[in-house]
Structures are given as structure tokens and as C-alpha cells.
């Protein structure tokens, strides 16, 4: 059966998801977190294609994986539950496969590299703290759902409620929504002691890095669903690299 390098597998753009009968609304709110929790947002330039190739170019170029083409366009979405289903079909299985073959390649070196094998799943696959469930979890394979920490919590949002350019909006309400979602992800990261997290919408992916316990956050450049190809980050590669960051036993946590 034909195979391709893992780099090519992860570099493909994602198919466009249409929208239909959407309803505007605010993002999730809770008394435990809010926009004022975020004290500073700075760029995260190290979350880049060049960094990924420098660190993992050998496995990305040498490890082979069976192609998994997008056979047909996804149906449009109208809300976040539908978007979650599209992510499951288009993204999550591919990331799980990519991480699986990555750790197969690296298995003889895992102890030296101080990496644990992780996988991507729904937030309930990791410890649930005070009944808060992030939408996604990177957690160590083989651990208990009840006690496994979520090493990189992720939140799924629809693009008509949140997009990264809201950070620069003059409209205060839109800027508030931008920080509200960052606060939600920051709260999940703090709960699990995680350094890294993510926001994924039907248009883009951004990785998030917690710099301290006082609301200082680094945010990567937006990776569009149409991104990919030679020398460019794709959503799949960004999520895969977030998984690799979460696998680092001595770096995933920020207590």
C-alpha cells in the first residue's frame, strides 16, 4: 500500500466548512473566569514551521504513513456541536494517527528525550476538575481518564463568535469576546497545570502558551484552514506539534 512522509500528510490544507442558518451569540461565560483574567497577550513566534522542522524534521521526513485524503466536502455547520462533529471527522483521527506513527519512530529514544506517548481526544478523556470539561485533551496513553492531566487543553469555537483578529477590533464588545475565550482556555490550563493550550475554529487555529500564573499569555500566529503546503504551517501540523509539546515530561507543566 502506498505511503507518504509524515510531513506531507500533515501539510495538507483542510477543506472549507460552510455555514448555514447561524445565530450570533456570546462565548461561554462563567463566574470562575473572565476577560480581566488576561493581563497581557504577546506573540509566540517560536510556534513556527521552522521551529518544528528544526526539532522534528527527521521524523517528519523519514516516517511513512498511509495517505488519508478528504473524500468529499464537509456539510455546513450552524453551531458548535456540529463543528465538533466536523472536527472529529476531519482532524482528530488524523492527529491520532500522526502521533501514533511519530511515537513508533521515536520509541527507542523516548526515555532519552523525556517524552511520553500522548494522544488527542475529547476533554473527558482527562481528569475532570470541578465539572469543567475542555473540548479537547492531549493526555498520556494508558493513563486513567479519572486522573490523567490534560497536558494541553483545547477549546472549539465557531468563527462568527470568535476570531483572532478580534484582538485588534476597536469595538470594545468584540475585544471583550476575544479575551473571554482566552480566559476560558487559560482557566483550563491553570486547572491542569498545563503550559500550553489551543483555540480551534472553523476558520483558524491558534496555539496558546501560559507564561505565568498571572494571566500573561503568548498566542501563536493564526493558522488558516487553507494553510499548508511546502514551508507553511497547516492546522494539522500545528495541532500535531502542540501534541508533541504536551508530550514533553519536563516542559508541559507550569505550576
Segment 62-80, tens digit of pLDDT: 999 999 999 889 999 999 9
Give which of 148, 85, 84 is closest to 118, Cα–Cα. 148
196-200 and 223-224 as β-strands: parallel, antiparallel, unpaired? unpaired
DSSP assignment letter at 240: H
- For residue 164, the model assigns a pLDDT of 96
**pLDDT digit string, tens, across residues 107-121:** 999 999 999 999 999
CB 216, CB 173: distance < 8 Å:
no
Element (H, E) at 20: none
Cβ-based neighbours of 183, under 8 Å, separated by 6 or more: 33, 34, 35, 36, 37, 38
In this prediction, residue 28 carries a pLDDT of 84
pLDDT for residue 71: 87
- Domain borders along the chain are 4-18+30-69+77-246
CA separation (Å) from 192 to 12, 112, 205, 215, 248? Answer: 31, 25, 21, 15, 15
Which residues of the chain are under the pLDDT cut of 70? 1
For residues 148 and 174, give the distance between their C-alpha atoms in angstroms, rounded to a whole number: 35
Minimal CA–CA distance to 150: which of 128, 166, 183, 169? 128
pLDDT at 1: 66
- The answer to whether the pTM exceeds 0.85 is yes
pLDDT of residue 27: 84
Amino acid at each position: 500500500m502506498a505511503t507518504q512522509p509524515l510531513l506531507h500528510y500533515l501539510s495538507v490544507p483542510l477543506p472549507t466548512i460552510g455555514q448555514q442558518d447561524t445565530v450570533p451569540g456570546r462565548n461561554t461565560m462563567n463566574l470562575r473566569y473572565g476577560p480581566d483574567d488576561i493581563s497581557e497577550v504577546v506573540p509566540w513566534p517560536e510556534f513556527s514551521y521552522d521551529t518544528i522542522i528544526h526539532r522534528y524534521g527527521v521524523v517528519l521526513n523519514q516516517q511513512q504513513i498511509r495517505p488519508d485524503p478528504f473524500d468529499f466536502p464537509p456539510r455546513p455547520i450552524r453551531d458548535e456541536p456540529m463543528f465538533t462533529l466536523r472536527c472529529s471527522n476531519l482532524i482528530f483521527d488524523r492527529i491520532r494517527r500522526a502521533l501514533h506513527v511519530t511515537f513508533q519512530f521515536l520509541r527507542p529514544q523516548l526515555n532519552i528525550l523525556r517524552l511520553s506517548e500522548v494522544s488527542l481526544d475529547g476533554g473527558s478523556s482527562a481528569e475532570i476538575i470541578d465539572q469543567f470539561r475542555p473540548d479537547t485533551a492531549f493526555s498520556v496513553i494508558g493513563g486513567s481518564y479519572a486522573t490523567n492531566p490534560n497536558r494541553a487543553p483545547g477549546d472549539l469555537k465557531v468563527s462568527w463568535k470568535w476570531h483572532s483578529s478580534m484582538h485588534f477590533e476597536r469595538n470594545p464588545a468584540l475585544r471583550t469576546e476575544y479575551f473571554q475565550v482566552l480566559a476560558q482556555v487559560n482557566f483550563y490550563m491553570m486547572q491542569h497545570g498545563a503550559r500550553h493550550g489551543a483555540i480551534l475554529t472553523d476558520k483558524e487555529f491558534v496555539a496558546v502558551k501560559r507564561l505565568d500564573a498571572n494571566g500573561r499569555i503568548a498566542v501563536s500566529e493564526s493558522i488558516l484552514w487553507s494553510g499548508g503546503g511546502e514551508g507553511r504551517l497547516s492546522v494539522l501540523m500545528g495541532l500535531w506539534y502542540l501534541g508533541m509539546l504536551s508530550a514533553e515530561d519536563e516542559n508541559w507543566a507550569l505550576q
